[in-house]
A = this chain, B = another copy of it.
């Protein structure tokens, strides 16, 4: 099996590359390096298996030819992790997620059509659900009402993949709805925001929103091991929520942890709005019973995941 990782030089993608290589698997990376970097890839990653390419454009026949030569008639596992990761930017400019989050899905499906594919694994998001407050969200929730364009394009990607699966039922489909995933490298998100703001040891840490936002956080190591486990279950087409099994961590709690560790004299300053930005879901709760019942391993709590990243950051300095 050959693994082709779309967005493989990004935060989650590069961690997946490291994991798969450690398992001795063959890995090809396609990435436009807009959020990712070649420096995120393992030092021993073979240069000829990396392709700098913007997958929001149609696949070029040149790229397809090169991939055909590399895969040696082995079947592909396509990991579609290519997407915009800046949800706020997508609210200001709808074109961002249209191209980077949905356009890349068309390329993933075209690749699956053009080169014999065993599995297509799609990184979807909690954002497809929209704002349901405290209600625990399981995979059978039908009222999907994303309030960010990022969430809209993730939902449209899921639906297009499901329609594709009707016509191509032999390809194994996994749709994983990610929670807030954290780890190194810090490319975006609240930990990066706080970490970069605290570098200058400021008097105040300005937090987006009132700090009461509460979300599940999952360490990228747990995310990857659980995807690997759930890929191997027999069903041909499954949707799974991936998350820590708790109600999440409050943003104010994360602010305190980060301040304690990186700038103890700084004071957090909150806004009055429950949302950190337009399109932000202040609180959500994932029901992860399905993934657990299919063998997902025990994982760090949201708070422990944050603490693990903090420890990783401290070991770097």
User: Which positions in A face B, CB cutoff 8 Å?
Assistant: 58, 91, 94-95, 98, 102-103, 106, 109, 142-149, 152-153, 155-156, 159-160, 163-164, 166-167, 278-279
Chain A contact residues, majority secondary structure:
helix
Write the nearest CB–CB distance from A88 to chain B, whole angstroms.
Answer: 12
For residue A58, which residues in chain B have a CB less than 8 angstroms away from its CB?
Answer: 95
Q: What distance in Å separates the Cβ of A145 from its nearest Cβ neighbour in chain B? A: 7
How distant is A153 from chain B, measured CB to nearest CB, in Å? 7
A114 → chain B, closest Cβ, in Å?
A: 13
Partner of A163, one of B95, B103, B144, B148: B148
Identify A102's interface contact among B98, B109, B146, CB under 8 A. B98
A144 contact set on B, CB distance < 8 A:
144
Tell whether, in the assembled complex, residue A163 and residue B143 are in contact, meaning their CB atoms are under 8 Å apart: no
Q: Which 5 A-B pairs have the closest CB atoms?
A: A142-B143, A156-B156, A152-B159, A94-B106, A152-B156
Residue in B94, B146, B164 whose beta carbon sits within 8 Å of that of A94 in the complex: B164
Please name the residue on chain B nearest to A163 by beta carbon.
B149
Q: 13 extra interchain contacts, Cβ-Cβ under 8 A, other than A94-B164, A163-B279?
A: A91-B167, A94-B106, A94-B163, A98-B102, A98-B106, A102-B102, A102-B156, A142-B145, A149-B163, A152-B159, A153-B156, A155-B159, A167-B278
Q: Which residues of B contact A91 (CB under 8 A)?
A: 163, 167
Are B147 and A163 within 8 A (Cβ)? yes
Q: Are A146 and B159 in contact (CB under 8 A)?
A: yes
Which residues of chain B come closer than 8 Å to A95, judged between CB atoms? Answer: 58, 106
Cβ contact within 8 Å between B109 and A278: no
Closest Cβ–Cβ distance, residue A65 to chain B (whole Å) = 20
Q: List 18 A-B contacts (CB under 8 A).
A: A58-B95, A94-B160, A94-B163, A94-B164, A95-B106, A98-B102, A102-B156, A142-B143, A142-B145, A144-B144, A145-B159, A147-B166, A148-B163, A152-B159, A152-B160, A155-B156, A163-B279, A167-B278
Assembled-state Cα–Cα distance A103/B152 (Å): 14
With both beta carbons as reference points, the residue of chain B lying nearest to A152 in the complex is identified as B159
Q: Is the CB of B278 within 8 A of A166?
A: yes
Docked CA distance A260–B31 (Å): 59
Most chain B CB within 10 A, of A94, A103, A106, A148, is at A94
In the assembled complex, how far is the CB of residue A272 from the closest CB belonging to chain B, in whole angstroms? 18
Q: How far is the CA of A146 from the CA of B159 in the complex (A)?
A: 7
Q: Quick one: which of A103, A144, A147, A159 has the most chain B CB within 10 A? A: A159
Rounded to whole Å, the gap between the CB of A303 and the closest CB of chain B is 31
Determine whether the beta carbon of B98 is less than 8 Å from that of A103.
Answer: yes
